Structure 1
Amino acid sequence: MQYPIYLDYNATTPCLPEVIEAMLPYFGTHLGNAASKSHPYGWVAENAVEEAREKIANLIGAKSKEIIFTSGATEAINLGIKGTFDAYLGEKQHYITCKTEHKAVLDTFAELQKRGAELTYLEVNSKGEISLDELEKAILPNTKLICLMWANNETGIIHPVEKIFKLAEKRNVIFFTDAVQAAGKIPVFTKGIHLMAISAHKLYGPKGVGALYVRHNHDMPKPLCQIHGGGHEKGMRSGTLNVPGIVGFGAAAQVRMNEMKLEGERLKTLRNKLEKELLEIAETKLNGSQENRLSHVTNIAFGGVEGEELLRRVNQKVAVSSGSACTSISPKPSHVLAAMGLNSDLGRASIRFSLGKGTTEKDIEDAVSWVKKVVVELRNS
């Protein structure tokens, strides 16, 4: 099969060869269950898990005991949000998030609203930025948690995390950040953050494994477990650990620690070339900010074309998406772009291009050429 040029690295990344190599022994030779404490098979598996936990903790500036393994970021988000709600059960609860959060966050909060939680959804401006003044005004005496992503998956915009955590700290509110698109791509930290979701397959690790960072040494409640049965992961997430996946996650985290700065600079150069040339097409505009964003992402609106047909045609030779991979099957315009003020037609005719380790200058040149050809043909049809 002849695959198209891959420019959808925000949806998922390929496993690096060294990640696959690290994982392979744990599918066969080292077959133990990490919870089997009575023989060498279990000891080897447990040791591998703890080594990976340390590497992942190092990536985000945490202690290894603060890393709770999950099946991915969606589970980590559900554990962090629903687990916090359960920890405060019986109290009046208010939560703050933003209209441009990932659906994993928004859908989880929608479920909490059914259970009686009060929600404030912050607005964003045309660049996708929140107002810190509005955030501060939204904090109530019964606000339990602020949940704001580190970097947006559709536009790449980076929220001012340091200023957010200082507001949360001042008002004694738990701060949870979805750092799925940030970890392994830009430096992240845990100072002032209570909960953080990360995912292996967004940083060149395997699918099906993620983690929730749970800060220790503070007096606010920690999330209560949502999956029972065995008390794994310090009682926070029961279930047999995915040892090969966790080993791969650790290997990927270690690689990204060493290469993210130089790779980020390389991708920024390629992204800027792609963006500059596509924005030369008439009736195009950048969705979001040119400054405060991830270096490998651009989101461009193409006026004068029908969105579904644009995406279908572009994907014949360039693999891209119109938004989150979780919602790419929906013909509806992106909720992120809608919150930024784009009308539904332009929202549907917007494409997210996300670059990665396999992206070359020739890929960019070929992608630009193809997209220009498609847009011209659609406008003339």
Structure 2
Amino acid sequence: MTIAYNTFEVEVDLNAIRHNYRLLREKGSNVYGVVKADAYGHGLFEVARALEAEGADTFAVGTVGEGMQLRKSGCSKRIISLLGPLNEEDCFNAFQSSIIPFIGEFEQLEMLTGVASAQGRRVEICLKFDTGMSRLGFGVHEIDDLIDWLKKNPEVSPVLASSHLATSDDPAYEGYISKQAGTFSDILQRLGNAGYELEASLANSAGILVHDQLHYSAQRGGIAMYGSNPLLGTKWSEAGNDLKPAMQVRTKVASVRKLKKGQAISYGCTYTAERDMTVAVVCAGYADGYSRGLSNAGQVCIHGKRARILGRVCMQLCIVDVSHIEDVKFGDSVYLLGGEGEGRISAEDLAGWWQTITYEVFCLLGMNPRTYKK
């Protein structure tokens, strides 16, 4: 049982996610719904159902265990596990739940053969290749050995091929993107010559939006599906202008008090009032996934206006300057993400103050209790 110990409310707009998915399908074609990490903090089951209603027929989860949860929720569509199996139990569970695992190591292949032999039928897999990310996947130098292995072990059946782009959101690295695409195309050709004509996926959100040459037969819709423009701040930014934010996060004011000039506030006395001020104590802190790194840097939205954080963010509280905002009182709503008016906080705003990326903002804040707009 999950105990709701905080005052947070994470509101997820499923209509926005559906809109964003439709936009990606207009620019791409066969777009997988990437719902790994609890759908980037937006809710695995709820998001998958919303996407299924839009015609999504393939869902990409992170771990095999997450795929099992999605399958048990009633999802009958194709599920792929981006991390793939890490032990024999994962192999067995992927097989039993009809989850297609990403495979980029010979050790994973060997584990799968044991499961396939024990079950007496084929195991479908997605071959993962390293084309320039230097993280996971078979290298180009391993292709011949991989083909030989597959020929000798027909009980393991590749149906998909994939790789991961390292710089698709950065115009300065267009050459690197092209090099990765060329490497991936060469791999697909070598597999095809060996008799393996596979569904191929290379493009992520940025790839879908601006790199038509990377689309191949399938694409993976990730961060853009949740309303964050991966191209913001670049010459390609307009390609993501029609995306709609899907998450809002709000909490409450716990207290309103006066701060005298020269008076310090919060742990470590890292902020001292430069004038007489009115401050609000807000129910948000690092125990809620609201980073301590926002100390003296972040802002919130109260009554449609921005209020900056003063001093250190605490475990479940932070303090903001409301001297310029009228009638702030105990119990008022405070938007950490979203809100209305000129003070609205975007995921990009919050990520910038946090010195991180919107992915982390969503994943951490999304761990709090959620409600849904449908």
Same structural fold, with TM-score higher than 0.5 when normalized by the shorter chain: no
Give the alignment's TM-score, normalised by structure 2.
0.29
Higher share of residues assigned helix: 1
Higher share of residues assigned strand: 2
Give the alignment's TM-score, normalised by structure 1.
0.29
Bigger Rg, which one = 2
